[in-house]
Chain A
Amino acid sequence: MKNKYLDIHPPVFWPATILIVVFITITLLVGEPMEQVFVSMKDFITDQTGWLFILVVNLFILFCIYVGFSKYGSIRLGGKDAKPEFSTSAWFAMLFSAGMGIGLLFWGVAEPVNHYANSPNHENFSPEAAQGAMNLVFLHWGLHAWGIYAVVALALAFFAYNKKMPLTIRSVFYPILGDRIKGWIGDVIDVFAVLATLFGLATSLGLGVQQLSGGLSFLFDIPNTSTTQVILIASITAIATVSVVSGIDKGVKFLSEWNIRIAAIFLIFILIVGPTLYIMRGFIQNVGTYMGDFIQVSTWTEAFRDAGWQGDWTVFYWAWWISWSPFVGMFIARVSKGRTIREFVFGVLLIPALLTFLWMTAMGGSAIYLDLQSGTHELANEIVSDSTTALFVFIQQFPFSIVGSIISLFLVTSFFVTSSDSGSLVIDNITSGGKLDSPVPQRIFWASAEGAVAAVLLVGGGLGALQTAAITTGLPFLFILIFMVYSLYKGLRSEYLQMKELEQVPDKKRYEKKLEKSLIKREEKSKKSND
C-alpha cells in the first residue's frame, strides 16, 4: 500500500489506530467516572505487579553489566570494520538529549522536595529525609532508567546494523521467532510498541501542558483550567506538526539542538544564581550515597511496611521508562553505529545518568537545601502543594527570577515540541514497517494523535490518568522486554561465534603456493602445446 498520502504496514497501522480511537471515545463518553476507573486500574497493577517491575529492571542492569564486561563486549555494532558516525563528545551530547525530556523539568524540583516532605523512610523535613530524597530521585532517574534504554537500544542497533534487519521492534525477536516475525506475532509486538510509545509520550506531553498552564497562571494569572490546557495542547501540537512536516533534517534537528543549548544555559543560570557551593558539594555527596546504597535502594519493595508509596513513584517510573523505551531506544540506536558493545553500555549507562544527577542536585537538591536553611518549610510546602508550579516557585527564590521563569516556560514548550515531533517519527517508522521517510500526512496524523490522547487523558482524569496510561502500557511491554533480553543474548552468542570463525586467518603461504602451482603449470602446458 503505497501512495502519496499513506505508506503504511496495514496490520500494524490499523489495529494501533483503532485501539487508540476506541480508547479516546470511551474516555470521552464515560466522562467523570473514568477518573475512578483510571485510579483503580493503576492501584491494581502497581499493587500486584510492582515487585515484578522492580525485579526485572534490576535484571536489565545486571544484563547490561554482563554484556559490557563479558567477551561479547568486543562485538562492534555494524560489524568489525564499522566506524562511529559521530565523535565521542557529540555522541555523549546526543545520548543525554535523548533522555532529557519534559520529565526533568516537571519533576526536577517537585520530586526531590516531595520525597523530603513526605519521606517514605525518614522523619519528614529532616536532613536524613533530604539525603533519602536525593537517593530515591537518583534511583528513579539514574542507572535503572538508562539500563532499560540501553537494553532496548542495544537490541535495536544490533539487529539493525549487525544482522541488517529493519529498524523496528519486531526485528529484535528474530533469534526466537525466526521468520515468524514477519507474521502476526511480529504485528502484535509492533502494535504494543506503538501503543507504549504513544501513551508514554502522551504522559510526558500531559505533564508538560500541566506545567505550562500552571506556570502561566502562576506568573501571569491566566486561569489554570482544562480548557487552557487543551488549547495549549492544540497550539503546541500545531507547532510540532510544522516541525515534523519540515522533516528530520530541518525542524526536528534545529529544535533539538536549541533545546539542549537552552537547557544548558538554564542549568548554568541555576548554578550561578543558586546555592553554588551546596550544588557542588551536594553532587559529590549524593552520587556517593547513591553508589553506597545502590543495592538496598534498588531492591527495596516496601515488603514490611506497605504504605502504597512505591506504586505512585518507583513503579510508575519503571513503567514510564519502559513505555518510553522504544522511542529513546530507537534514537540511541540510530546514533550508536560503530561503537563496541562495551563502549555502548558504559556510555549509555553512565554519562547521561551523571548529567541527570547534576541537574537533579541543582534543582531539587537546591530547593531542599534552601528549605532546610529557612527553618519554616514554607517553600517545601508550597512546592509540594502543586507539582505543576514547583519549578516556578523555586526560581522565584533567586535574582532575575522573571528571566529564569521565561526561559523555563520556553524550555517546556520546546521540549514538548521535540518530544512530539520525534515521537511521531518513531511511531511512523514502526507503523510503516521500518521505513525511514514516510509521507507527510501520515506524520501529521501521528503528531495529532499524540496531542489528542494527551488532551483526552487530561480531561478524563488529570495526572492520575497520565500515570495509569504509562503503567498499563508499560506492563505488557515489560514482558516483551524480557523476551527481548533473551533474544538479544541468543543473537550476541551466534554473532560472537561467527566473529571468532571469521578471525581465523587463512594460510596465505599455502594459498600462494597453490596459485603458483596451478597457474604456472597451465602456462607451461600451453607453452608445450604451442611448441
Chain B
Amino acid sequence: MKNLNKIALAADLTEMDEKMLHFIKGYDSLFDFEELHIIHQIEIEELSEDLEQLLQKKNKTLEELIREEIESTVIEVFGSLKPSIHIYIQPKPDFSELVTWINNSQFDLFFLGKKKSLEGTGIFSSKMVRLLSCNLILVPETAKPLISKILTPIDFSSYTQRVLEVSELIAKNTKSEFIPLHVLKIGIRYFPFFGNEKKIQKSLQKEADSKFEKLKKKVKIQGKLLSIIAEEEPIGVAIFKKAKELKVDLIIISKKGKSDDSDLLIGSVAENLIANDKNISVAIIQ
C-alpha cells in the first residue's frame, strides 16, 4: 500500500470549507500530502439579479469570483497559497462530467464534509460516495483533526484485505490504535438449531478468528480481532454503538460487503454509517 499523496476536497462555499481545511491541515502534519485539489461545481447556469449585479460591479466571471472565495479561505487556514494546492472549478452543472474528471484524476483520498446543523441536505455527498471510484472520507462538522483510535469492521469478503492494508497505513502514520472488528450475525439459515445459539456463536467466532489469523500473515499486521454480536439491530448500528463505546474517532470500511451484490452502488453497512445522524468520521475504501 503506497502512501496517501494526492488528496482532494469538495468545497461547498459554506463555513464547512474552513472546517475541512483545518481538518486536512491537521492530517497533513501526519501524512505529508503532496497535492491537495479543492473542487467545486457550479450548479446553476443562470444567475440571480443580485449575483449579476455583483459580477458586473466586480467585472469578473462567476468562476473567478468563486476561485477568489476559495483562495481566501485557503489563505485563512494555511497562511498562504501553497503551490501544492490546486483549485478546480467545474463550470457546468454536468455532474457526470465532474465524476469522470475526478475518477480519472486518481486521488488517493477524497474529503467530503458531513453537515448536521449547517445547511445542506447531503445530496451532493451521497452522490459522490456512490459514484466515485476512489477512497473517500466523510468528516462530520464536529470532528477533530486527530486520530487516536481506529475501528475497522471486516467481514472477510474480497474487500477485506484492502481495508486492513489502508487501516494499517493510517494507523502507522497517526500512531493510533487500530481495532479490527467482526460482527457475528446468526442468520436465518441456522434456524433449526435455535436452541443452541451459544454453540453456534462459539463456532462462528472460532471460524472468524482462524480466518483473521490467516489474513494477519498475508497483510502483515498485529492485533487481535474483536467480535461482537448483532442481535436484532442492523450491523451498521451495532458497529456505530461499539465505536461510540470505544471512543473511536475514525471508522474504516469497504464500500461494499459480502452480501451486497451489484444492485447497490454502496453496501448497506457503509450506507448506515455515513447517515447524517452519525458523528464519527468514516473512510470508505474501494
Q: Tell me the A residues contacting B by CB distance below 8 Å.
A: 79-80, 175, 490, 493-494, 497-498, 501-502, 504, 506-508, 510-512, 514-516, 518-520, 522-523
Contacts and interface: CB of A to CB of B under 8 A. Distances in A.
Given A506-B124, A508-B43, A497 B14 contact: no
Nearest to B12: A514
B262 A490 contact: yes
A498 B262 contact: no
B93 A518 contact: no
Contacts of A516: 48, 50-51
Interface in B106-130: 119, 121, 123-124, 127, 130
B48 A514 contact: no
Contacts of A507: 121, 123
A520 B12 CA distance: 15
Contact of B54 (A490, A494, A498, A520): A520
Interface centre among A490, A494, A506, A520 (most CB of B within 10 A): A506
Contacts, number: 70
Contact of B262 (A493, A501, A514, A522): A493
B44 A511 contact: yes
B126 to A, nearest CB: 9
Given A497-B263, A497-B265, A501-B131, A522 B50 contact: no
A501 B265 contact: yes
A486 to B, nearest CB: 11
A523 B72 CA distance: 12
Interface residues of B, number: 30
Interface in B22-77: 43-44, 47-48, 50-51, 54, 58, 65-66, 69, 72
A511 B124 CA distance: 11
A502 B123 contact: no
B130 A501 contact: yes
Contacts of B44: 508, 511-512, 515
The binding surface of chain A is classed by DSSP as helix
B131 A498 contact: yes
B13 interface: yes
A175 to B, nearest CB: 7
Interface string B78-96: 0000000000000001011
Contacts of B65: 519
A519 B123 contact: no
Select the residue from A79, A175, A494, A501 with max chain B CB neighbours within 10 A.
Answer: A501
B58 to A, nearest CB: 8
A514 B119 contact: yes
Contact of B96 (A79, A515, A520): A79
Contact of A504 (B54, B99, B127): B127
Contacts of B127: 501-502, 504
Contacts of A506: 43, 93, 95, 123-124
A502 B96 contact: yes
B95 A518 contact: no
Contacts of A522: 69, 72
A397 to B, nearest CB: 58
A508 B43 CA distance: 6
Contacts of B121: 507, 510
Contacts of A508: 43-44, 93
A422 B51 CA distance: 58
A520 B54 CA distance: 8
6 contacts: A501-B265, A502-B131, A506-B123, A512-B48, A518-B13, A519-B54
A484 to B, nearest CB: 16
Nearest to B158: A178
Contacts of B265: 494, 497-498, 501
A312 B199 CA distance: 61
B77 to A, nearest CB: 15
A494 B262 contact: yes
B262 A518 contact: no
Nearest to B51: A516
Of A493, A502, A520, most buried by chain B (CB within 10 Å of CB) is: A502
Interface in B247-285: 262-265
B257 to A, nearest CB: 16
Closest 5 CB pairs of A and B: A511-B43, A518-B13, A506-B43, A490-B262, A494-B262
A506 to B, nearest CB: 5
A519 B14 contact: no
B262 A175 contact: yes
Contacts of A518: 13-14, 69
A164 B95 CA distance: 17
Contacts of B48: 512, 516
A501 B47 CA distance: 25
Contacts of A502: 95-96, 99, 127, 131
A515 B48 CA distance: 10
A21 B65 CA distance: 67
A152 B121 CA distance: 42
Given A497-B265, A511-B43, A518-B69, A523 B119 contact: no
A522 B54 CA distance: 11
Nearest to B130: A501
Nearest to A492: B262
Nearest to B104: A164
Contacts of A80: 96
A493 B263 contact: yes
Given A508-B43, A511-B43, A519 B51 contact: yes
Most buried by B among A510, A512, A515, A519: A515
B54 A514 contact: no
